[in-house]
Amino acid sequence: MAEFVTLEVSEGIGTIRLARPPMNALNRQVQQELRAAAREATVHPDVKAVIVYGGEKVFAAGADVKEMAEMSFGQMTDVITDLQSDLAAVSEIPKPTVAAITGYALGGGLEVALSADRRIAGDNAKLGVPEILLGIIPGGGGTQRLARLIGPSKAKDLVFTGRFVNADEALAIGLVDEVVAPDDVYEAARRWASQFTTGAGRALAAAKAAIDQGLDVDLHSGLAVERQLFASLFATQDRTIGMESFIENGPGKAQFTGE
């Protein structure tokens, strides 16, 4: 039984809940439990979309600095690959994912949020990658995902200065996709996720894989990824259901099975 990270499933939506008071600091145990929860969400047949949520007051205020301060170069070298994979575990869920952000999302906490497909923030949110103020750099994917999301110049500004951005600036630079009142963050995330609970699950997974894998390669290679994934969907029941429903009833009325 996980102590700090749980998966709650309701109405087709899985909520990965971070709960390590007071600030959801991401020590190694939390990181490993996050990865386990992401794996559970991946294989759970009732989960069609996933929310990552830190609670009403804070998303996650970063890594556990006290734990990290005790580590030597050799120790960090041994664990950095696992650390990076743990914080990126949400990105490996082949289903639509959204981070519901209230309060602080800093350092490793922001890196977890960056691993989601979408980010919805409360207007009280503070986001940033302040690792430079500790004499280090983001190590859980922050330098890479941030630059891909908001561009290298804006990413360098945030990484070089370690400054926090508020919700309005985060929205303006594309760091988050929607800003709502703090009390509405989780419900806004559920509204977005609920769109996919009756969707064509394998097609959604293929769409996600095509976009994510395509960003890592040149356009020619990305088109090859798209071709393969597109053709593979012709082996699914949902493709048959979707096309037959379109021919008979028009668009948007198919009752998909997820197979």
Task: Using pLDDT thresholds of 50, 70 and 90, give the confidence band for residue 1.
Answer: confident
Pick the CATH number of 201-249 from 4.10.320.10, 1.10.287.40, 1.10.12.10, 3.30.360.10: 1.10.12.10
For 123-146, how does the pLDDT look when each residue is reduced to its tens digit (9 = 90+)?
999 999 999 999 999 999 999 999
- Report how far apart, in Å, the C-alpha atoms of 135 and of each of 12, 89, 223, 224 are: 43, 26, 40, 41
Answer for the pair 50, 14: CB distance below 8 angstroms, yes or no.
yes
- Closest C-alpha to 119, from 181, 51, 42: 51
In whole angstroms, give the CA distance from residue 41 to residue 164. Answer: 31
Task: Using pLDDT thresholds of 50, 70 and 90, give the confidence band for residue 64.
Answer: confident
For 141-175, how does the pLDDT look when each residue is reduced to its tens digit (9 = 90+)?
999 999 999 999 999 999 999 999 999 999 999 99
Active site residues: 111, 131
Q: What is the model's pTM?
A: 0.95
In whole angstroms, give the CA distance from residue 110 to residue 60. Answer: 7
- What CATH class has 5-194? alpha beta
Domain definitions of the chain by residue range: 5-194, 201-249
In whole angstroms, give the CA distance from residue 59 to residue 17. Answer: 9
In this structure, the number of other CB atoms found within 10 A of the CB of residue 109 comes to: 30
Peptide bond into 138 cis (omega under 30): no
